[in-house]
């Protein structure tokens, strides 16, 4: 292809970076300056102009979604599908390596990944088993301690012992946990990285193989890599040193998870002669937004310092809304979005950003009342729901009997007469003999270590899992899920419970079946379909699965907004103690991280940026007076405009005002519009299967009219009126 095609649409500095000679390259530049764009063009350049094989490309992104987008854009540019290229997150890529080389990694073939919640639960049990007091060794903090050391590349044995005997206990717990995970064949998130790094470090042939294969290594959001990730990159790039990294020190927001912004400085030291390109033109935001963001970040002392300008014109000022309380804030935001929709703007051009996930609920309630579809990123995640995890635990046991986390989860779920006492005996046997719970349970049964009734119940469980595994057909994933739902009697268990909660759980389990049916199996990954599905559930749970409605208002935490952009951004909850977060206020370093987070949020906006704060806020069940965030003061006054709510309530939305807080007691609704025989927007309706809910949207008319109902337990659903048999409740 003509190289100029790949350089089209790039400015001089961007071109310089894209065509830079092989070697270590660093693009250090502010938000919206085209770093990600440069990275994508660089891949296309390597393949198309430099003749690199896609097999030689390894690109690291921050989310799986970003990875998919990147692949799509490269393919678009090259006008052909690109196979063999590895693009993914650090976790995803390390997982792939471990699956392919489980032997070298000293893992069982069917090893399973546990998420952070499972990690804490597991630790809780181990701490109890060691007869230590949880009050002194809180499982969550112990997990943090362990992850921190793993992120620094330290196994328990390598943690330097302090004199404090209590510290030694923490290390002992780490060691116990490490041994237990190894026996059980389970791997936590931090372990994925550490294990993959250790494997490459210790196996010369493997290292040589991958060093030779991945001639081109590219990393987006480099400022958020932690020590072990950086070491991993260095190992892989060991021979050729072709590392192309892009990042922005001002957007480093994962210090609390071990990310080291110093890696940027280290990079220049570790690769003497590395070429650094700075991009200074911002293409994303208008002048006022950019100046406001620059004014805020300017208050940080530890910066590499950058100039960022735009020729997009001044644009509108940043708008600042002082809300009476959190309901008023949400109402204002929803109102503004409604206005922009009335002006023919798509809903997904608006993003509502917040510091803490708990803030989303109020927005959701108002969006529902306004009949506006929305999507929450990183909210309650499908694969993290209890009933789904139960079903997954059965699946995991089918592939790896030694998975203690799964064993404990379902040995008595649904109840089958295996009491705590029995489980404790099994746990003791496991601990004393350094074997998994599964093996301990078999021993307990065979050697008659349990009372007859308990032994019977345990034996039935062991046989149940074995028969499930025997029944399963290797390449029928949906079939495997079906086996679980039936044999485990999970489905039956919830079906027999007539409460609405149980109904929602039944539906979720049924949804798992469709998730299995829809699962796109990529054989290239080198693992079986069930394993691929389980890994997907563990690794990609945090990201939104496909929604049925594609034009939705976007809701997400500031952390998940990284790298994205929207024409209209609402940065909400700009209050001291909420943002900056109260845990960060007394520590200069943490406060700077909060400010960078604010910078990230502001620079997501292309045309309009709204900041809002409430004078009093109810969060986590308590109401507090609130003060505006210091970050607001840091924006020069001429860049911002204080706005008020537009006079009386927007037509159609009623019920707020002085008694805003009571708005939830009787949900606000868009009145009027009758969809069909007695059903209106806002009607409360009852469905035989989904229970009660409120009509929030509709489309079409007559026979084919469809309504969207937000069911209390079953969530949002689109239903064809002619078939749904909805009964109007009020
Ligand atoms: P962030 O720091 O937020 O990750 P970034 O530096 O990665 O931002 P990009 O997302 O690559 O920036 O680019 C920001 C926006 O500017 C995108 O919409 C991109 O398409 C556009 N853009 C980048 N470079 C150019 C260019 N030379 N001409 C026109 N548009 C550009
Ligand atoms: Mg980017």
| pLDDT tens, position by position, 144-193 | 999 999 999 999 999 888 777 778 899 999 999 999 999 999 999 999 99
Measured in Å, residue 564 CA sits from the centre of ligand 2 at 7
Q: Which residue, judged by its Cα, is nearest atom 13 of ligand 1?
A: 34
Give the integer Cα–Cα distance in Å for 105 and 187: 11
Q: Which residue from 244, 243, 235, 231 is spatially nearest to 208, judged by alpha carbons?
A: 235
CATH number for 383-541 (one of 1.10.10.10, 1.10.486.10, 1.10.287.130, 2.30.30.90): it is: 1.10.486.10
Whole-Å CA distances, 78 to 9, 46, 74, 443, 708: 15, 11, 6, 59, 41
* Mutation pick for ligand 1 pocket among 284, 294, 605 (CB with most ligand atoms within 8 Å): 284
CA of 311 to the centre of ligand 2 (A): 19
Ligand 1 atom 11: residue of nearest CA: 34
pLDDT over 60 at 699, yes or no? yes
Most ligand 1 atoms within 8 A of CB, residue of 17, 283, 285, 563 to mutate: 283
Strands 216-219 and 243-247, how do they pair?
parallel
Q: Say whether 260 is catalytic.
A: no
List, for residues 524-576, the tens digit of each pLDDT value. Answer: 666 788 888 888 887 765 554 444 457 899 999 999 899 999 999 999 999 99
Opening angle at CA 716, ends 710 and 719, nearest 5: 90
First to last CA, the chain: 65
Nearest atom (ligand 1) to Cα of 563: 4
Distance of CA 365 to the CA centre of its chain: 22
Q: Which two tokens stand for residue 69?
A: 């987008």
545 is catalytic: no
* 691-699 β-sheet, strand order: 715-720, 706-711, 691-699, 684-687, 727-728
Which backbone phi and psi does 540 adopt, to 5 degrees?
-110, 10
Q: Given the CA of residue 37, which atom of ligand 1 is nearest to it?
A: 11
CATH topology of domain 112-184: Arc Repressor Mutant, subunit A (1.10.10)
Do strands 374-376 and 553-557 pair parallel, antiparallel, or not at all (unpaired)?
Answer: parallel
- Helix-helix angle 452-471:386-399, to 10 degrees: 80
CA 205, 208, 212, 216: dihedral to nearest 10 degrees?
Answer: 130
Phi, psi of 60 (to 5 degrees): -110, 125
Report the C-alpha gap between 645 and 335 in whole angstroms.
9
DSSP secondary structure letters along 195-210: HHHHHHHH-HHHHHHH
| pLDDT-based confidence at residue 15 (cuts at 50, 70, 90) | very high
Token code pair at residue 464: 């149940």
CATH architecture of 290-380+548-644: 3-Layer(aba) Sandwich (3.40)
Q: Which ligand is nearest to the CA of 293?
A: 1
Hey, where are the domains in the chain? Answer: 3-102+193-281, 112-184, 290-380+548-644, 383-541, 669-729
Atom 2, ligand 1: which residue's CA is nearest? 31
What is the C-alpha separation between 711 and 368, in angstroms, rounded?
11
Distances (CA, A) of 489 to 386, 463, 464, 466, 468: 15, 14, 11, 15, 12
In SS3 terms, 121-152 reads as: HHHHHHHHHCCCCCCCCCHHHHHHHHHHHHHC
Residue 546: per-residue pLDDT: 43
Instruction: Give the contacts of 484 (CB within 8 A, at least 6 positions apart).
Output: 391, 394, 395, 398, 468, 490
Q: Which residues pair with 218 in a beta bridge?
A: 59, 244
Ligand 2: centre distance to CA 631 (Å) = 23
**Residue tagged 């990201």 (tokens):** 543
- Known catalytic residue at 270: no
Q: pLDDT at position 654, please? A: 30
- Residue 566's Cβ-side half-sphere holds a number of Cα atoms within 13 Å equal to 27
Return the best residue to mutate from 32, 252, 289 for the ligand 1 pocket (most ligand atoms within 8 A of CB).
Answer: 32
Contact (Cβ atoms closer than 8 angstroms) between residue 372 and residue 553: yes
Q: What is the mean pLDDT of the chain?
A: 86
* Cβ atoms within 10 Å of 646's Cβ, excluding its own: 11
Atom of ligand 1 nearest to the CA of 11: 27
Ligand 2 center to 11 CA (angstroms) = 16
Contacts of 323 (CB under 8 A, 6+ apart): 329, 332, 612, 613, 614, 615
Distance from residue 286's CA to the centre of ligand 2 (Å): 17
Q: Chain-centre distance of CA 483, in angstroms?
A: 29
Which pLDDT score is estimated for 689?
A: 78
- The residue annotated as part of the active site, out of 176, 225, 229, 251, is 251
Closest CA to 300 of 562, 634, 526: 634
Write out pLDDT tens, residues 627-685: 999 999 999 888 988 887 644 333 333 333 322 332 222 234 333 467 777 787 778 88
**Smallest Cα–Cα separation from 567: which of 607, 517, 510, 610?**
607
Question: What span, in angstroms and rounded, lies between the C-alpha atoms of 195 and 192?
Answer: 5
Q: What is the dihedral of CA 130, 136, 140, 144, to 10 degrees?
A: -90
Structure tokens at 571: 């940065």
Pocket of ligand 1 (CB under 6 A): 9-11, 14, 29, 31-37, 248, 251, 283-284, 563, 565, 603
Give me the CATH topology for the region 669-729.
SH3 type barrels. (2.30.30)
Across the beta sheet with 25-29, the strand order is: 86-88, 57-60, 216-219, 243-247, 25-29, 275-279
Q: Which residues contact 663 (CB under 8 A, 6 or more apart)?
A: 327, 331, 655, 656
CA of 607 to the centre of ligand 1 (A): 14
395-408 confidence digits (pLDDT tens): 999 999 999 999 99
Smallest CA separation from ligand 1 atom 23, residue: 34
Separation of 348 CA from ligand 1 center, angstroms?
Answer: 19
Higher confidence at residue 498 or residue 134?
A: 134
Distance CA 358, CA 360 (A): 5
Question: Is 221 one of the annotated active-site residues of the chain?
Answer: yes
Q: Is 251 a catalytic residue?
A: yes
Ligand of minimum distance to the alpha carbon of 599: 1
Do the domains spanning 3-102+193-281 and 290-380+548-644 agree at the CATH topology level?
yes
* Alpha-carbon span 123 to 129, nearest angstrom: 10
Beta-carbon contacts of 245 under 8 Å, excluding residues fewer than 6 positions away, are 25, 26, 27, 218, 219, 222, 267
Nearest CA to ligand 1 atom 14: 32
DSSP code of 447?
T
Q: How far away, in angstroms, is 563 Cα from ligand 1 center?
A: 9
The number of the ligand 1 atom at minimal distance from the alpha carbon of 29 is 6
Categorize the per-residue pLDDT at 600 as very low, low, confident or very high, splitting at 50, 70 and 90. Answer: very high
* Ligand 1 atom closest to residue 283's alpha carbon, by position in its atom list: 16
pLDDT category at 393 given cuts 50, 70, 90 is: very high
436-484 pLDDT, tens digit each:
999 999 999 999 999 999 999 999 999 999 999 999 988 889 999 999 9
| List 221, 248, 529, 531, catalytic entry | 221
Catalytic residue among 15, 35, 71, 331: 35
Alpha-carbon span 494 to 508, nearest angstrom: 11
pLDDT of 694 higher than 90: no
pLDDT of res. 501: 75
pLDDT digits (tens, 9 = 90+) for 184-240: 999 999 999 999 999 999 999 999 999 999 999 999 999 999 999 999 999 999 878
Question: Per DSSP, what are the bridge partners of residue 352?
Answer: 555, 570
- What is residue 647's predicted lDDT score, i.e. its pLDDT? 42
The answer, yes or no, to whether residue 286 has pLDDT greater than 60, is yes
Residue 314 clears pLDDT 70, i.e. is over it: yes
Q: Point out the catalytic residue in the list 15, 385, 604, 680.
A: 604
Quickly name the fold that domain 3-102+193-281 has.
Rossmann fold (3.40.50)
CA distance 366 to 335: 10
Q: How far is it, in rounded angstroms, from Cα 285 to Cα 569? A: 11
């Amino acid at each position: 292809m003509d190289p100029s095609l790949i350089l089209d649409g790039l400015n001089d500095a961007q071109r310089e970076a894209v065509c830079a000679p092989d070697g270590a390259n660093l693009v250090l530049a502010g938000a919206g300056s085209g770093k990600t764009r440069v990275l994508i063009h660089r891949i296309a350049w390597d393949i198309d102009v430099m003749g690199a094989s896609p097999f030689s490309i390894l690109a690291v992104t921050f989310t799986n979604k970003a990875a998919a987008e990147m692949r799509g854009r490269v393919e678009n540019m090259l006008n052909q599908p690109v196979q063999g290229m590895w693009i993914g997150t650090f976790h995803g890529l390390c997982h792939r390596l471990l699956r392919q080389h489980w032997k070298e990694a000293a893992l069982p073939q069917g090893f399973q990944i546990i998420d952070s919640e499972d990690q804490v639960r597991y630790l809780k049990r181990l701490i109890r088993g060691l007869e230590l007091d949880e009050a002194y060794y809180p499982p969550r903090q112990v997990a943090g301690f362990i992850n921190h050391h793993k992120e620094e590349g330290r196994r328990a044995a390598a943690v330097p012992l302090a004199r404090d005997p209590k510290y030694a206990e923490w290390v002992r717990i780490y060691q116990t946990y490490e041994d237990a995970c190894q026996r059980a064949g389970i791997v936590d998130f931090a372990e994925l990285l550490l294990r993959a790094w250790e494997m490459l470090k210790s196996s010369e042939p493997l290292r040589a193989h991958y060093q030779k294969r991945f001639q081109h290594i590219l990393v987006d959001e480099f400022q958020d890599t932690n020590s072990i990730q950086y070491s991993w990159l260095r190992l892989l790039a060991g021979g050729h040193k072709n590392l192309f990294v892009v990042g922005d020190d001002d957007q480093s927001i994962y210090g609390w998870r071990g990310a080291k912004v110093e890696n940027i400085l280290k990079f220049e030291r570790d690769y003497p002669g590395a070429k650094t390109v700075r991009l200074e033109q911002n293409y994303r935001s208008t002048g006022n937004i950019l100046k406001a963001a620059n004014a805020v970040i300017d208050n940080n002392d530890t910066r590499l310092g950058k100039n960022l300008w735009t020729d997009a014109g001044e644009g509108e000022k940043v708008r600042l809304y002082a809300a009476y309380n959190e309901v008023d804030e949400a109402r204002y935001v929803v109102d503004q979005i409604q206005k922009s929709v009335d002006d023919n703007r798509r809903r997904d051009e608006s993003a509502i950003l917040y510091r803490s996930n708990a803030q989303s609920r109020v927005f959701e309630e108002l969006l529902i009342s306004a009949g506006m579809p929305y999507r929450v990123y990183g909210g309650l995640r499908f694969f993290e729901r209890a009933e789904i995890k139960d079903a997954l635990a059965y699946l995991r046991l089918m592939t790896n009997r030694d998975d203690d986390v799964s064993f404990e989860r379902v040995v008595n779920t649904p109840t089958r007469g295996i009491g705590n006492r029995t489980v404790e005996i099994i746990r003791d046997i496991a601990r004393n003999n350094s074997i998994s719970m599964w093996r301990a349970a078999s021993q307990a049964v065979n050697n008659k270590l349990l009372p007859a009734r308990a032994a019977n119940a345990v034996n039935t469980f062991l046989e149940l899992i074995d028969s499930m595994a025997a029944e399963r057909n290797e390449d029928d994933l949906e079939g495997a899920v079906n086996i679980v739902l039936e044999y485990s009697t999970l489905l039956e268990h919830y079906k027999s419970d007539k409460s609405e909660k149980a109904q929602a759980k039944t539906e979720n389990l049924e949804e798992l079946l469709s998730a299995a049916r829809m699962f796109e199996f990529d054989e290239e990954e080198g693992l079986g379909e069930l394993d691929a599905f389980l890994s997907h559930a563990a690794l990609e749970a945090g990201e939104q699965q496909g929604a049925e409605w594609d034009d939705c208002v976007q809701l997400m935490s500031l952390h998940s907004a990284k790298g994205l952009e929207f024409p209209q951004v609402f940065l909400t909850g700009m209050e001291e103690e909420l943002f900056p977060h109260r845990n960060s206020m007394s520590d200069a370093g943490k406060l700077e991280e909060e400010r960078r987070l604010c910078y990230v949020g502001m620079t997501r906006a292309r045309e309009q940026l709204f900041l809002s704060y409430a004078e009093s806020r109810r969060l986590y069940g308590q109401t507090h007076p609130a003060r505006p965030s210091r970050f607001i003061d840091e924006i020069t006054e001429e860049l911002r405009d204080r706005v008020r709510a537009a006079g009386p309530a927007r037509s159609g939305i009623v019920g707020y005002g002085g008694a805003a807080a009571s708005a939830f007691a009787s949900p606000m609704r868009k009145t009027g519009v009758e969809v069909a025989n007695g059903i209106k927007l806002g009607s409360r309706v009852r469905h035989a299967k989904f229970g009660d809910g409120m009509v929030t949207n509709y489309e079409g008319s007559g026979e084919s009219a469809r309504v969207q109902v937000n069911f209390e337990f079953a969530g949002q659903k689109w239903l064809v009126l002619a078939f749904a048999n909805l009964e109007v409740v009020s």
